[in-house]
Amino acid sequence: MAIDKVDHIWMNGKLVRWDDAKIHVMSHVVHYGSGVFEGMRAYETPKGAAAFRLPEHVTRLFDSAKIYRMEIPYTPPQISEAILETIRVNKLQSCYVRPVVYRGYGSIGVNPAGCPIDVAIAAFPWGKYLGPEALEQGVAVRVASWTRMAPNTFPALAKSAANYMNSQLIKMEAIADGYAEGIALDARGLVSEGSGENLFLVRGGVIYTPPMADSVLLGITRSSVLALAADLGIPVREESIPREMLYIADEVFMTGSAAEVTPISSVDRIPIGKGARGPVTRRLQEAFFDVIEGRRPDTHKWLTPVYEGVAVAGRAGK
């Protein structure tokens, strides 16, 4: 997807022009994939733009960095404020935010000692991840021929750049074969997740999603959907899912900051349920969008106002 560029990117504490936000080709991250990142959204609400689950995304960024022994030279509150500042300086309302922490330019060789830990934050408009129709119509997916990272290889709980080489194999294969997305199995052959989404299925009124140990990223949208399901009184089971459960499920859907809550209409060309968005997916989607767009009270305290107390008018419609 083309990037809808904006004015400024936050880099190591300074706001630099979008076109000048560059790194050296000898930076460690370019050669060895040594970066961790976040992806989150802000939404336009009747009370102004609000960042969705900002503290949780910042916490996961620090957790990812900790797993890779990267010391972020800022505190979590400083990163949170930098995220809000990046949205504000670009006068954005509804947008996607991409904070990245990476090993920069300083030395060569696998050992990263001698390379700085650099931090950058970009905020920009990003529409519907799997296409404009996806949220209502659902998307066709395949089970990937590629397996998700095995335990104790690449840590799945870290949102690291390197993990997305695996995601790219899954995604490119799916697109090449005419699907919107691929669902990867874990090293044991159990359902794991999409290239950039967590996976849920519904059968007999019960929601199922793979647990933490099945090579998934602990998605923040995933946790939001689990909370909303509890609010709605829909039973949820976090348990391992065999591949064939996908085909006989009443409903399957995916979640992610970019993908939001996206129904799946077919898996390997086998229609799921009626081959369209199911009622449970629809209820969860409605609950999700009602909260993030400020139509129902933010009982979980998921929204952080972006412009509160700041005398800058947001750019309309973005």
Interface mask (CB under 6 A) for ligand PPE, residues 226-255, using x and -? -----------------------------x
DSSP states of 60-77: HHHHHHHHTT---SS-HH
SS3 content of the chain, % helix, strand, coil (to 5): 25, 30, 45
Tokens 């996206």 sit on residue: 262
- Does position 181 interact with ligand PPE (CB under 6 A)? The reply is no
- Does position 220 interact with ligand PPE (CB under 6 A)? The reply is yes
Three-state SS at 224: helix
Min CB(120)–ligand PPE separation in Å: 15
Interface mask (CB under 6 A) for ligand PPE, residues 152-171, using x and -? ---------------x----
Interface mask (CB under 6 A) for ligand PPE, residues 39-78, using x and -? x---------------------------------------
- Does position 142 interact with ligand PPE (CB under 6 A)? The reply is no
Min CB(95)–ligand PPE separation in Å: 12
- Does position 99 interact with ligand PPE (CB under 6 A)? The reply is no
- Does position 196 interact with ligand PPE (CB under 6 A)? The reply is yes
Min CB(256)–ligand PPE separation in Å: 3
Q: Of residues 44, 118, 181, 197, which one binds ligand PPE by CB under 6 A? A: 197
Residue 20 in tokens: 């000048």
Rounded Cα distance, 100 and 61, in Å: 8
Of the residues 91, 159, 171, 301, which is catalytic? 159
The DSSP bridge pattern shows strands 181-185 and 139-147 to be: parallel
- Does position 258 interact with ligand PPE (CB under 6 A)? The reply is yes
Is 159 known to be catalytic? Answer: yes
Q: Residue 140: which residues within 8 A CB-CB, separation 6 or more?
A: 178, 179, 180, 264, 265, 266, 269
End-to-end CA distance of the chain: 17
Tokens 């972006």 sit on residue: 306
Three-state SS at 304: strand
- Does position 117 interact with ligand PPE (CB under 6 A)? The reply is no
Rounded Cα distance, 318 and 181, in Å: 27
Q: How many residues bind ligand PPE (CB under 6 A)?
A: 16
Q: Of residues 186, 193, 214, 251, which one binds ligand PPE by CB under 6 A? A: 193
Q: Residue 204: which residues within 8 A CB-CB, separation 6 or more?
A: 250
Q: Which is nearer to ligand PPE, 183 or 202 (CB)?
A: 183
Catalytic residues: 159
Q: Which residues bind ligand PPE (CB under 6 A)?
A: 39, 167, 193, 196-198, 217, 219-222, 255-259
